[in-house]
Amino acid sequence: MAELIVTGGRRLEGSVRIPRSKNSVLPILAAALLCEGESRICDVPCLSDVDTSLALLNAVGACACREGTDVLVCAGDQMQPSVPDSLSGAMRSSVYYIVPLLYRCGEAHISFPGGCRIGARPINLHIEGLRAMGAEIETHPNTIICRAPKGLHGANFCLSFPSVGATETLMMAAAFAKGRTVLCGCAKEPEITDLARFLRRCGARIQGAGGTCMTIDGVERLKAVAHTPIPDRITAATVLFGVAACGGDVTLTGVRYSHLNAVLHTLSAMGAELCRPELGVLRIRMEKRPDAAFVTTGVYPEFPTDAGPLFAAAALQATGESMIRETIFENRFACAAEFCRLGAEAHVQNSRLYINGVSGLKGGLLASQDLRGGAALVIAALAAQGKSRITGTEYIARGYEDIAQLFGRIGAELYWEK
Ligand code: EPZ
């Protein structure tokens, strides 16, 4: 995979359009298998996780392809229930295919999903919920075999943790289960609401999405529709914290402010000037060194865990001590050791990342170890003086169409080197 060569120390200026949300697109691509006909998912970014999803869909007998910037998905007549291990293990989102395969084939064989190594990332909540709805699930060391010979039935199920993925799995299951399902303890992320919007437009009967409790009445059939996913709030946060780190004046278009409240609050605390000239447009100006800040991540609408490393990168040169407490994943700050290669003073203790802001970070050799940590290294390198080389960019490609272009179009100097 190509490496990123970054020349830091430049202000960021210009305008950038925020792409559609990876974490909205991925579950919707799976949910499209529940529909009769051809679904069109519009304006889908070119991400490696999307490519993996297309390969997975075609491997199980569906038809999935790109048409311009859209993705077309249609269930096949001869679907098969097994997901190749290479594809299951390539991303976390392979777990979303359990339910569509149960629906289409009456069974699903899938190895444990992959994904960024930011924690153990079990799928017990997905399994417990599906069992409550009548699925028979065997878990083996590497494989999960699910069957639903009599189909799924409605259930009252309470998630012990508001897991985004488990909420999405159980929404898809309840959409066609016989009878009513009441899900409590649901995740409330915007991506959940977007999946519900897609399913409702296909004919599903879902109430309460975006809240902690959802009521879903199963229907016989869902019909394919065209759907444009919400903007990617974490890509927006990536650009915003990049400006906070480097200084500058950047306008973001195609954003949804309401998805960014906690992030915008933190940016204001760091001294960024934010304004909303018109709907969907957000302007950020940073004319000084960031002020130190304290952040605790949490489930939506709290500060998003995915933006934690991005905030940390901007805090490396803040005036004073910053701290971020991670409450979702066990290993969110693998990037901390890499920050120190630039001369940063950062250390992790008990899920807290402590940062003593310094001035004069210097470029260095950095290794990405996960998607958002890799994006944070790009931000840190952009803020450092001199050249940096970033490896492990395959992690970054999972969630960013072209991070060099994303920052390059607002004045950053960085390029890919094969
Ligand atoms: C989704 O992952 C996102 N991925 C993640 O974004 C995001 O960080 C995460 O939600 C939290 O917001 C996608 O949407 C594709 P969870 P997911 O289930 O669904 C525990 C990115 O960078 N848990 O909400 O896997 C789990 O271990 C990615 O774009 C269980 O214990 O997250 C974790 O501690 C990274 N049992 C917590 O819940 C389960 O069955 C949150 O996980 C499921 C989860």
- pLDDT, one tens digit per residue, over 145-158 is 999 988 999 999 99
pLDDT at 327: 98
pLDDT at 408: 98
Residue 117: pLDDT band (50, 70, 90) is: confident
Question: Angle formed by the axes of helices 261-269 and 233-246, to 10°?
Answer: 10
Range 221-248 average pLDDT: 98
Residue 141: pLDDT band (50, 70, 90) is: confident
What strands lie across the sheet with 226-227, from one edge to the other? 63-67, 70-74, 38-41, 226-227
Q: Strand, helix or coil at 225?
A: coil
Pocket test for ligand 1, best of 21, 23, 305 (most atoms within 8 A of CB): 23
What span, in angstroms and rounded, lies between the C-alpha atoms of 245 and 322?
A: 14
Closest residue CA from atom 21 of ligand 1: 306
Ligand 1 and 233: CB distance under 6 A: no
Residue 53: pLDDT band (50, 70, 90) is: very high
Of 66, 214, 242, the residue nearest 154 (C-alpha): 214
Contacts (Cβ under 8 Å, ≥6 apart) of 147 = 102, 106, 107, 135, 136, 137
Ligand 1 and 23: CB distance under 6 A: yes
Of 210, 156, 206, the residue nearest 187 (C-alpha): 210
pLDDT at 269: 98
Q: What pTM, to 2 d.p., does this model score?
A: 0.97
From the number of C-beta atoms within 10 Å of its C-beta (0-12, 13-18, 19+), residue 349 rates as exposed
Range 249-268 average pLDDT: 97
Residue 116: pLDDT band (50, 70, 90) is: confident
Ligand 1 and 232: CB distance under 6 A: no
pLDDT at 205: 98
Ligand 1 and 164: CB distance under 6 A: yes
Closest residue CA from atom 25 of ligand 1: 165
Ligand 1 and 248: CB distance under 6 A: no
Sign of CA dihedral 128, 129, 132, 135: negative
Range 85-100 average pLDDT: 93
Residue 389 Cα, ligand 1 centroid: separation in angstroms?
29
Sign of CA dihedral 310, 17, 53, 147: positive
Whether residue 297 is predicted with pLDDT greater than 90 in this model: the reply is yes
Residue 120: pLDDT band (50, 70, 90) is: confident
Residue 301: pLDDT band (50, 70, 90) is: very high
Pocket test for ligand 1, best of 121, 131, 303 (most atoms within 8 A of CB): 121
Query: Is the N-terminal amide bond of 229 cis, ω within 30° of 0?
Result: no
Whether residue 178 is predicted with pLDDT greater than 90 in this model: the reply is yes
pLDDT tens digits for range 102-113: 999 999 999 988
pLDDT at 1: 85
Contacts (Cβ under 8 Å, ≥6 apart) of 86 = none
pLDDT, the chain, mean: 97
